[in-house]
């Protein structure tokens, strides 16, 4: 904030002088306070989750595409169970927002991406939706079977043209979840967004996920240590808000860059977050890969 004095009085000017979406606090797992919590609370939970995965993987052998509703409901409650044992005993979402989800007609859903828990959370809230996912996920044995019906895969880890596939799914009435930021970053900052969710030229349902101080920044925080710390906590908090749908305009259809920025301003306004001038390619992790 800059304070300016003029003849007409005192003015306050807010500038985005700290555009640091990839900065996060240090995860201190190996400490006298934290490590014992893992031994007495986190480790038992981890064992329960491991056993639970084996059971779910067994039942996955019997999942078939013509039983999609069964798959959706199984995933919904299995992901909720995993979140519970990660310490997310309660999901803070209003009844009004739950009704918004039930009654929403929008097929494109955009959520901010501030944790590896986002996929579990969105699977629970939107059990009938599909995800845009990196192809490497399809090679993970336990997830592979579920991914056949729940994911639309990129051709490789960092890209792939999916316009036709996405349009085919939308024509079938499928809802698709996009984490358009591309990487996990701070939950109070929204990066510039990738094109994928905007190419179909549809109305968009915005979703904001807030883990308080427990967000995870990809590359900045060690994921394993962060997860061990989370699972060792007695209780973790997450708050979800469902925004007013963004209605695409005639000008949006003619200019995808304008469409993205108009949506970002809409998102920032309703959820009170800062807009960053950076995108996922500015992340150090991607700079090394691209």
Domains of the chain by residue range? 32-289
- Is the per-residue pLDDT at 15 higher than 70? no
47's CB contacts (< 8 A; 6+ apart) are none
Sign of CA pseudo-dihedral 82, 181, 14, 267: negative
- CA–CA distance, 82 with 45 (Å, rounded to integer): 9
Cβ atoms of residues 191 and 181 within 8 Å? yes
pTM value? 0.83
Task: Work out the pLDDT band at 246, boundaries 50, 70, 90.
Answer: very high
pLDDT attached to residue 13? 34
Decide the pairing of beta strands 151-153 and 274-275. Answer: unpaired
The DSSP letter of residue 106 is -
3-state class of 129 per DSSP?
strand
- CA–CA distance, 8 with 31 (Å, rounded to integer): 55
- Is the per-residue pLDDT at 258 higher than 90? yes
What is the pLDDT averaged over residues 1-7? 38
- Is the per-residue pLDDT at 220 higher than 90? no
- What percentage of the chain reaches a pLDDT higher than 90? 46
pLDDT tens track for 103-128: 999 999 999 999 989 988 999 999 98
Top-confidence residue, 84 or 5: 84
pLDDT attached to residue 31? 77
pLDDT attached to residue 267? 97
Cβ atoms of residues 16 and 274 within 8 Å? yes
């Amino acid at each position: 904030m800059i304070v300016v004095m003029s003849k007409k009085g005192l003015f306050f000017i807010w500038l985005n002088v700290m555009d640091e979406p990839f900065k996060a606090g240090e995860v201190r797992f190996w400490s006298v306070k934290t490590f014992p919590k893992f031994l007495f609370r986190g480790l038992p939970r981890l064992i329960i989750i491991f056993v639970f995965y084996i059971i779910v993987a067994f039942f996955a052998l019997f999942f078939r595409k013509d039983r999609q509703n069964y798959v959706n409901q199984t995933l919904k409650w299995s992901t909720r169970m995993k979140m519970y044992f990660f310490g997310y005993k309660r999901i803070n979402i209003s009844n009004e927002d739950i009704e918004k989800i039930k009654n929403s007609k929008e097929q494109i859903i955009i959520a901010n991406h501030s944790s590896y828990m986002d996929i579990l959370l969105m699977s629970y809230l939107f059990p009938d939706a599909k995800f845009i996912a990196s192809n490497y996920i399809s090679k993970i044995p336990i997830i592979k079977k579920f991914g056949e019906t729940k994911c639309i895969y990129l051709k490789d880890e960092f890209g792939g043209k999916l316009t036709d596939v996405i349009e085919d799914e939308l024509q079938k009435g499928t809802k698709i979840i996009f984490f358009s930021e591309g990487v996990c970053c701070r939950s109070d900052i929204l990066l510039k967004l990738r094109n994928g969710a905007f190419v179909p030229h549809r109305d968009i349902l915005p979703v904001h996920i807030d883990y308080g101080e427990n967000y995870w920044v990809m590359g900045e925080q060690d994921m394993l240590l962060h997860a061990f710390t989370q699972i060792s906590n007695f209780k973790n908090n997450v708050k979800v808000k469902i925004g007013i749908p963004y209605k695409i305009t005639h000008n949006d259809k003619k200019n995808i860059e304008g469409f993205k920025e108009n949506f970002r301003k809409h998102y920032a306004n309703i959820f009170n977050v800062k807009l960053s001038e950076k995108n996922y390619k500015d992340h150090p992790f991607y700079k090394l890969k691209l």
